[in-house]
C-alpha cells in the first residue's frame, strides 16, 4: 500500500506550495484558447495546462463534467490527462462529486480510486446527501490504495446553505459532517468552499482539505487564511481554475499566473505564521 | 420541443404499467449471467436485458457507475445501451446522481440531457446537496428538450436520514425540497426511495416520481402503495433492478419476472382504486 493521500499531499504542498490547478475545459475556455468544443479540444487544453503548470502546483483537479460532456470520447481525453498528470509527478484529484450507495458506490470507487482503473486518481470528490455512512465503499477502496476521498461539506455557491446549514441534532450539517470525518477514516478529507458571506467553519486538524472559491467566484486569499490558518497538521490546497487558465494558452503566461498566485498564498501563510 | 418528460412518462405508464427496469451490470450480476467483468460484458448484459424487457416496462434506468467502472470503454457501452433503449421506444433514465454548480452543472446537463449528446437520456438523476437552486442549469437544459430532472430527495438506504431529515426552518430537508420542486419547473421530478422504517413523505401531485427500494433492498409493493397511492396527476414508476435481472439471462425468465412484478403492481394500484 502506498503512503496515505494526506501524507502525500502534505509533502507536495511542502515542496511546491498550496496550489491546486483546476483543469476545466469549458466551452468558454476552449474558445478563448482557440480550441474546438470537442473531446480533442478538451484533451489539448488539459495537456497544455498540465505541461505548463507541472512544476508550479501541488496538485491538479480534473473536472469530469467538462470531459463527460463529450461522452465516451471525452472520458478518453480525461484518461489521457490523468495519465499525463501522474507521469509529471502531480497529485490528481478527480472532481466528480459522485454520490450513491452500496454496490453502486463501490463501482464509482473502483472507477476513480481502483488499482488499475483507467480513470484512477489520487483522490476523488464525493457528495454526502445520502449520508456519510453511504460513502464507506469509497473509503474502503481509498484505504486499500493510499488514495483519498474528499467530501464536499461546504460548497462555494450561495444556494448551498439551504442544505449545508440545515440542522442535525441542533447543529449545521456541514459542521456535523466535518466533525465525523476524521474519526471514520484517515482517507477522508473535505472540500470546504470559500463562500462569500459565510463564516469560517470550525475544522478538525489532520484531514486533507481542498478549498475552491478564490478568484472569479469571489473569495480572497485573506478569507483562505481566515478559514485554514489555524491548522497545523492538515494539508490544505486552494483550487484555482479560471484564475490560472484564463492566462493561457501561452505557457509562460500560465506559469506567471501560477507564480503570482503562489506569492499571494505565501504572503497569507507567512502572515499567519505557518 | 417534444412533449414534457412527465407527460411522456404518464403515457408510458398508462400503456405498459408502472415499472422501471434498473440496468445494473455489477460484477456480481455479470458473473451470474456468465459475462466478463468488462465494458464488453456490461454492454452485452444491457443489450440482453433491454431486448427481453422492452415490451414489459415503461422506462429503463441505466446506472452510470456500472459502466463508468470500465472507463471510457464503459461509457461507450452506455452510449450504445441508451441508443438501443430509445430505439425500442423505452424512456431512459440516466441514473448518474450528479451534483455541481454553475458552468460545471451546465456541462453535466449537456452530457445527459443535451440535444445531440451521445449520452442523452429522457431524464437524469441529480443530488441536491449544493442547494436546489444550483440545479438550474439542469432544469434549463431539460425544459429546452422536453426532458426531466429527477432530484434524489429521499434515498432508500438507512444512512440517508442523517442528511435528509436535517431541519431547514424547522422542517425536514426532504420535505422542504419536495415542496419546492413543482413550483420551480415542470421538468423537475423526484426520486423518493422506499426506505424501510421511514414514514411516507407528503408529496405534491403533478411531478414525476421514481421509487427505488422494492425487492432486495427490503421495501414491498404495499409500501409503494402507501407512499404514492394518493397521487392522481403524477406519473410514478417503481424501479426494480436485481428483482428483475437476477432472473436472467434467459429472456423468457426475464419476461416472467417482469410480468410477476407488473401483476403485483397492478394489484396494489387496484386496491388503491387508481
> pLDDT tens digit string along A129-183?
999 999 999 999 999 999 999 999 999 999 999 999 999 999 999 999 999 998 9
Q: Tell me what pLDDT residue B182 has.
A: 87
* Phi, psi of B65, deg, nearest 5: -55, -40
Over its C-alpha atoms, chain A yields an Rg (Å, rounded) of 17
Q: Tell me what pLDDT residue B197 has.
A: 81
Rounded CA separation A73/A193 (Å): 30
Q: Tell me what pLDDT residue B273 has.
A: 54
Q: Tell me what pLDDT residue B272 has.
A: 66
Tracing cell 407527460 back to the chain, one arrives at: B7
Q: Tell me what pLDDT residue A272 has.
A: 66
Instruction: Give yes or no for a contact between B160 and B195, defined as CB atoms under 8 angstroms apart.
Output: yes
A124 closest CA partner among A103, A158, A100: A100
How does pLDDT run across B78-88, given as a tens digit for each residue?
Answer: 999 999 999 99
List of chain B residues whose C-beta atoms are within 8 Å of the C-beta of residue A28 = 103
Give every residue of chain B whose pLDDT is below 70, as ranges: 272-274
Q: Tell me what pLDDT residue A162 has.
A: 95
B156 closest CA partner among B103, B116, B97, B98: B97
Residue A199 is given by DSSP the state P
Q: Tell me what pLDDT residue B192 has.
A: 98
Instruction: Give yes or no for a contact between B191 and B96, defined as CB atoms under 8 angstroms apart.
Output: no
For an interface test with A, the pick among B28, B150, B166 (most A C-beta atoms closer than 10 Å) comes out as B166
List of chain B residues whose C-beta atoms are within 8 Å of the C-beta of residue A69 = 107-108, 110-111, 114, 117
Sign of CA dihedral A115, A120, A123, A126: negative
Instruction: Give yes or no for a contact between B216 and B247, defined as CB atoms under 8 angstroms apart.
Output: no
Q: Tell me what pLDDT residue A273 has.
A: 55
Instruction: Give yes or no for a contact between A204 and A235, defined as CB atoms under 8 angstroms apart.
Output: no
Q: Tell me what pLDDT residue B216 has.
A: 83
Give every residue of chain A whose pLDDT is below 50, as ranges: 274
Rounded CA separation A134/A128 (Å): 8
Omega before B56 cis (within 30°)?
A: no
For an interface test with B, the pick among A62, A107, A124 (most B C-beta atoms closer than 10 Å) comes out as A107
Interchain contact, B99 vs A129, CB within 8 Å = yes
Interchain contact, A65 vs B167, CB within 8 Å = no
List of chain B residues whose C-beta atoms are within 8 Å of the C-beta of residue A101 = 155-157, 159-160
Q: Tell me what pLDDT residue B215 has.
A: 86
Interchain contact, B99 vs A28, CB within 8 Å = no
Q: Tell me what pLDDT residue A171 has.
A: 97
Q: Tell me what pLDDT residue B173 has.
A: 98
- Among the partner residues B73, B101, B173, nearest to A157 by beta-carbon distance: B101
- Among the partner residues A110, A134, A156, nearest to B69 by beta-carbon distance: A110
Active site (annotated) includes residue B97: yes
Interchain contact, A71 vs B75, CB within 8 Å = yes
Interchain contact, B100 vs A98, CB within 8 Å = no
Q: How far is C-alpha B90 from the chain's CA centre?
A: 13
Interchain contact, A167 vs B166, CB within 8 Å = yes
Rounded CA separation B62/A59 (Å): 33
Per DSSP bridges, beta strands B19-23 and B59-63 are parallel
Q: Pick the catalytic residue: B97, B110, B184, B242?
A: B97
Interchain contact, A129 vs B107, CB within 8 Å = no
For an interface test with B, the pick among A29, A30, A71 (most B C-beta atoms closer than 10 Å) comes out as A71
| Distances from the Cα of A198 to the Cα of A170, A185, A194, A219, B54, angstroms | 18, 27, 8, 11, 50
**B32 at the A interface (CB within 8 A)?**
no
Rounded CA separation A20/A93 (Å): 9
**H/E element, A98:** strand A91-98
Instruction: Give yes or no for a contact between A62 and A74, defined as CB atoms under 8 angstroms apart.
Output: no
List of chain B residues whose C-beta atoms are within 8 Å of the C-beta of residue A66 = 104, 107
| Distances from the Cα of A92 to the Cα of A138, A163, B80, B162, B233, angstroms | 16, 28, 30, 30, 47
Active site residues of A: 97
Instruction: Give yes or no for a contact between A86 and A118, defined as CB atoms under 8 angstroms apart.
Output: no
The order of strands in the sheet holding A167-168 is A171-172, A167-168, B167-168, B171-172
**B80 at the A interface (CB within 8 A)?**
no
Instruction: Give yes or no for a contact between B138 and B149, defined as CB atoms under 8 angstroms apart.
Output: yes
Omega before B249 cis (within 30°)?
A: yes
- In chain B, which residue's Cα lies nearest the Cα of A74? B72
Amino acid at each position: 500500500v502506498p503512503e496515505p493521500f494526506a501524507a502525500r499531499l502534505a509533502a507536495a504542498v511542502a515542496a511546491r506550495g498550496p496550489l491546486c490547478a483546476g483543469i476545466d475545459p469549458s466551452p468558454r475556455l476552449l474558445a478563448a484558447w482557440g480550441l474546438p468544443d470537442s473531446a480533442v479540444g478538451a484533451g489539448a487544453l488539459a495537456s497544455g495546462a498540465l505541461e505548463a503548470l507541472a512544476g508550479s502546483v501541488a496538485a491538479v483537479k480534473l473536472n469530469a463534467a467538462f470531459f463527460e460532456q463529450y461522452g465516451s470520447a471525452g472520458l478518453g481525453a480525461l484518461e489521457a490527462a490523468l495519465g499525463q498528470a501522474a507521469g509529471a509527478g502531480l497529485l490528481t484529484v478527480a472532481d466528480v462529486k459522485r454520490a450513491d450507495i452500496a454496490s453502486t458506490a463501490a463501482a464509482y470507487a473502483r472507477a476513480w480510486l481502483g488499482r488499475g482503473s483507467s480513470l484512477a486518481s489520487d483522490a476523488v470528490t464525493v457528495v454526502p446527501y445520502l449520508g456519510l455512512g453511504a460513502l464507506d465503499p469509497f473509503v474502503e477502496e481509498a484505504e486499500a490504495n493510499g488514495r483519498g476521498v474528499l467530501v464536499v461539506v461546504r460548497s462555494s455557491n450561495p444556494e448551498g446553505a439551504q442544505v449545508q446549514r440545515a440542522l442535525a441534532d441542533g447543529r449545521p450539517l456541514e459542521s456535523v459532517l466535518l466533525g465525523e470525518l476524521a474519526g471514520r477514516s484517515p482517507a477522508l478529507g473535505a472540500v470546504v468552499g470559500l463562500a462569500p458571506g459565510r463564516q469560517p467553519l470550525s475544522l478538525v486538524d489532520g484531514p486533507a482539505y481542498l478549498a475552491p472559491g478564490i478568484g472569479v467566484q469571489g473569495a480572497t486569499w485573506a478569507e483562505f487564511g481566515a478559514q485554514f490558518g489555524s491548522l497545523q497538521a492538515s494539508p490544505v490546497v486552494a483550487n484555482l481554475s479560471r484564475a490560472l487558465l484564463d492566462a493561457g494558452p501561452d505557457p509562460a503566461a500560465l506559469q506567471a499566473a501560477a507564480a503570482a498566485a503562489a506569492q499571494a498564498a505565501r504572503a497569507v501563510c507567512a502572515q499567519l505564521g505557518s
